[in-house]
Amino acid sequence: MSTSFCSNHLLAQQLERRALLRAGSLSLLGLGLPRLLAGQEQSSGDLALARAQESRSFGKAKACILLFMWGGPAQQETWDLKPGAPAEIRGEFNPIATRVPDIHISEHFPLLAQRTDRLAIIRSMTHNNVDHTVATHFLLTGMPPLPTGSKYTDWPHIGSVLARLGRGRDPLPPFVSMRPKLPGDVPRFVEESRGQWAGWLGQNFDPLIIDDNPNEPGYRVGEFDRPADVSISRLNDRKALLREIDRQLRGADSPGSVGVMDRHYRRSFDLINSAVSQGAFDLAAESPEIRARYGLNPHGQSVLQARRLIEHGVPLVTVFWPNDGIKNVSVYWDTHSRNFIDLKDRLMPPADLAFSTLLDDLEERGLLEETLVLWTGEFGRTPKIGQVNSDAGAGRDGRDHWPNVFTSVLAGGGTRGGVVYGASDRYAAYPTVNPVPPVDLISTVYHCLGVPPGLILNDAGNRPQIVCPGTPIADVLT
């Protein structure tokens, strides 16, 4: 099923050519970029957009929470168990019945098992890259990365596209990433995983990154706190001074990075002065009961923070799974050893609690229908315990990287609950029904968020690019 990494490069080149051709056809049809950006006007010539808007699910989501399980959860221990397979494949966990007849998931997701009526479980995700820091690009952007790409030239994260389209509510940023740093963290995951940024859209559309641990007492996002010895008038004086410096630098033909810094400065000042932002980031405003419901751990509190942010008007929040920094255990969901111990004791219980509570909380607040939730990792794990499929290998009680098939889950925001889409073979090794490449999953996300299909945006070199040329998965949409 796997293809060479070179195929990614060829596909990306083909997509660039398609983007240029589409840009030319749009000009001939009189469909300018501003109309696409507005996302409100519909041309009779744009049949794809017209068909999308006929769907009840198109644009139903006003916000998205992306729960990203860094490391790659084992599909056969979470959402796609294989009880009839040989022992070295099926592993130690058992499937359990759920609220929906004929849907079975892991015994260590007991809370989510009672909420499968709200879930669209996609068991046939597939791509071809076994490298953590590269594979993230597929699931955060939908696109295969170029081998020579970087955070400045990669395809943009979903949140950056929403920021480019002007989504959100000032003064809050339109795109936030929760990446709590804990003692013993692994910088390679945090700093090098690709697809986290705005890429070719430009740094203006990068996320606001929160590295603070929301489970710490007195948690506050430091960037938004006005120092006690700085009055409002002094803060405004500093703002005026920076504005004057910026004006002089622009007059001196300074590099374009000045504009990026200017935007970040203005956003910081506005956030510091805004009662809205203070409320959005104030977890102390939540009751002890609701905080406990999400889980008194970095992941649970990050998910709660995400809910507060979308409730205050932030269109997209990515919650990355934190590394707890415990020695001699798996890093994130990267269970090369201790697969069953760490999944059972450290990984699945807080994930089960936070995801299920988020679904309940959004529904209780009347937000689930307009909030899309995506739970995913960058790939799955090898069919056989101890099987080697990457340079990292696997111990006798672990599973190695496996991108050929894995599971992603959608909920809310225009998706159907109580459905399983696609299937893997009896060994959880390859898709057998309806294989889903990341480009189609992310196109489904864009569809729910009301982003026109085939949307073209210009990169930093003013070249038109198709943002995500996939096909939404109709069977998981309302």
> What is the tens place of the pLDDT at every residue in 36-88?
333 333 343 355 555 655 679 999 999 999 999 999 999 999 999 999 999 99
pLDDT given for residue 458 in this prediction: 96
CA distance 381 to 334: 9
DSSP 8-state class, residue 8: H
The DSSP symbol for 65 reads: E
Q: Is residue 347 part of a domain?
A: yes
Q: Which residues, at least 6 apart from 286, have a Cβ–Cβ distance to it below 8 Å?
A: 304, 308
Please choose, from the candidates 240, 127, 142, the residue with its C-alpha nearest in 3D space to the C-alpha of residue 443: 142
Predicted local distance difference test score (pLDDT) of residue 170 = 82
SS3 125: strand
End-to-end alpha carbon distance in the chain: 31
Position 230 in a domain: no
Res 11: pLDDT: 47
Q: ∠ CA 279-210-158 to the nearest 5 degrees?
A: 100
User: What residues contact 466, with CB distance under 8 A and at least 6 apart?
Assistant: 15, 18, 19, 22, 454, 455, 456
| Among 15, 41, 116, 14, CA closest to 443 | 15
CATH code assigned at 391: 3.40.720.10
The verdict on residue 268 lying in a domain is no
Q: Residue 38: its pLDDT value, please?
A: 38
407-471-36 Cα angle (round to 5): 125
Q: Tokens at residue 263, please?
A: 């935007």
Q: What is the predicted pLDDT for the residue at 402?
A: 98
Q: Which of 187, 155, 129, 210 is nearest to 377 (CA)?
A: 129
pLDDT at residue number 79: 98
Instruction: Assess if residue 105 is contained within a domain.
Output: yes
Give CA–CA dist 189/210, Å, rounded.
15
Contact 97, 104 (CB under 8 A): yes
Determine the structural domain holding residue 112 and report its residue range. Answer: 6-221+281-476
**Model pLDDT, residue 71:** 96
Q: Is residue 231 part of a domain?
A: no
Q: Please check whether residue 232 lies inside any domain of the structure.
A: no
Strand partners, 409: 121, 375
| Rounded Cα–Cα distance for residues 331 and 342 (Å) | 10
> Is 362 a member of any domain?
yes
Q: Please list the pLDDT of the chain residue by residue as tens digits (478 residues).
A: 433 333 444 444 444 444 333 333 333 333 333 333 333 333 433 555 556 556 799 999 999 999 999 999 999 999 999 999 999 999 999 999 999 999 999 999 999 999 999 999 999 999 999 999 999 999 999 999 988 889 999 999 999 999 999 999 888 999 999 999 888 777 778 889 999 999 999 999 999 999 999 999 989 886 555 455 545 555 455 555 555 555 655 555 444 455 555 655 566 656 666 766 778 999 999 999 999 999 999 999 999 999 999 999 999 999 999 987 666 677 899 999 999 999 999 999 999 999 999 999 999 999 999 999 999 999 999 999 999 999 999 999 999 999 999 999 999 999 999 999 999 999 999 999 999 999 999 999 999 999 999 999 999 889 999 999 999 999 999 9
The count of structural domains within the chain is: 1
The answer to whether position 83 is within a domain reads yes
Supply 92's token pair.
Answer: 């130690």
Question: Would you tell me the crossing angle of helices 348-364 and 298-311 to the nearest 10 degrees?
Answer: 20
CA 149 – CA 138 distance, rounded (Å): 13
